[in-house]
Amino acid sequence: MIYVNGNKISNADNLSLSDYLVREGYKISFVAVECNGSIIPKTQYKEKILADGDVIEVVSFVGGG
């Protein structure tokens, strides 16, 4: 089980971060992701495999004025 933005997620173990974000409808170009206290560069989203106990924070950027 992983935690995403404080919510328990039970069906994401062994997915890449990229696959998880796409599955959940995030637009990768408009998010920043922290995993276990470290910012994950977008270039590593496909390489980062989610594992039991990971704590993920996803921040979406929104335009406006």
On whether residue 65 sits in a domain, the answer given is no
Confidence bin at 65 (pLDDT 50/70/90): low
Quote the number of domains for the chain: 1
Confidence bin at 63 (pLDDT 50/70/90): confident
Q: Which domain holds residue 41?
A: 2-60
- Say how far residue 32 (Cα) sits from the centre of its chain: 8
User: Which tokens sit at 59?
Assistant: 């921040």
Does the reported pTM lie above 0.85? Answer: yes
On whether residue 42 sits in a domain, the answer given is yes
CA 56/CA 50 separation, integer angstroms? 9
Digit-coded pLDDT (tens) for 35-61? 999 999 999 999 999 999 999 999 998
User: For position 23, which CATH number holds?
Assistant: 3.10.20.30
38: left (phi over 0), alpha (psi -120 to 50) or beta: beta
∠ CA 24-5-62 to the nearest 5 degrees?
70
DSSP category for residue 5: T
On whether residue 34 sits in a domain, the answer given is yes
